[in-house]
Amino acid sequence: MADRVKAGDVRAVSRVITLLERQNPDGIAILRLLDSGSHRAAVIGITGYPGAGKSTVVAQLVAAYRSLGMKVGVLAVDISSPVTGGALLGDRIRMQEHTLDREVYIRSMATRGHQGGLARATSDARLVLEAAGYEVILIETIGVGQNEVDVVDLAHTVVAVVAPGLGDEVQAMKAGLLELVHIVVVNKGDLAGADTTLRDLRDWYPTVLRTVATTGKGIPGLVAAIAAHQRLRDLHGSSLV
């Protein structure tokens, strides 16, 4: 199984992630065989409030990285809250255009309320994807900060997606998330209020970008900002891995 994963066999990748989600001992043994000598992937966390457009942004990033010829993995973490009960289906639909692309792997991971389990399974899945040769791994997760910190810790670059008209959420971001977030995206840049939200956040964050994920507007700028952050991180020899 480990060899199949290393060869990029998608069915083996899925199987091993399922074993790891169940904390199956075989899965853990396979993971150990994968651990050494694996490739390095850029791990990008896409976080933000429900409905801000995370999945739409992720689908655009998948397209952007594919056009650069990169193999892309997506881990969409679903916290199974009643509010976002439709998230899984929504993610699938939004990312459907990529499901026929063999160089794109998309996986929804349900947490069923176990925050610690979420962190472990997501972290394991990331290692599996890395070993399978995925060059970019996008992790979509709901919420910014607090109990999402574990997932945020996994990513080299954390992108927070906000939408205009969510005043309270913007205030919450300013309150305690500066250290966690590297890039802020004001998505739904086509909606009224986007300018105000942008101005407001630019006083607090160095990198605040406007996107319209439904059309792809602003996505090249986001790709460039992520690349710039990853280069900076490499220069500073971050201890993250």
Ligand X SMILES: Nc1nc2c(ncn2[C@@H]2O[C@H](COP(=O)(O)OP(=O)(O)OP(=O)(O)O)[C@@H](O)[C@H]2O)c(=O)[nH]1
Which of the residues 101 through 130 are near ligand X (CB under 6 A)? none
Site size toward ligand X (CB under 6 A) is 20
Separation between Cα atoms, residue 18 and residue 182, nearest integer Å: 31
Give 80 or 84: the residue with its C-beta nearer to ligand X: 84
Q: To which residue do tokens 């499901």 refer?
A: 99
CB of 226 to ligand X, least distance (A): 18
Site membership for Mg ion, residue 141 (CB under 5 A): no
Residues 6+ apart with CB under 8 A from 166: 49, 52
The binder of Mg ion chosen from 55, 122, 141, 207 (CB under 5 A): 55
CA distances from 152 to 16, 25, 34, 159 (A): 23, 26, 23, 9
Residues 59-88 that bind ligand X (CB under 6 A): 84, 87
Quick check: 98 binds ligand X (CB under 6 A)?
Answer: no
- Asked if 214 interacts with ligand X (CB under 6 A), we say yes
Question: Is the Cβ of residue 19 or residue 49 nearer to ligand X in the bound state?
Answer: 49
Which DSSP letter does residue 213 get? T
Q: H-type helices in the chain, by residue range?
A: 2-6, 10-21, 25-35, 54-67, 87-94, 115-131, 149-154, 167-176, 194-202, 219-235
Contact call for residue 56 and ligand X (CB under 6 A): yes
Q: Which residues bind Mg ion (CB under 5 A)?
A: 54-55, 91
Q: Which residues bind ligand X (CB under 6 A)?
A: 48, 50-56, 84, 87, 90, 94, 142, 187-188, 190-191, 212-214
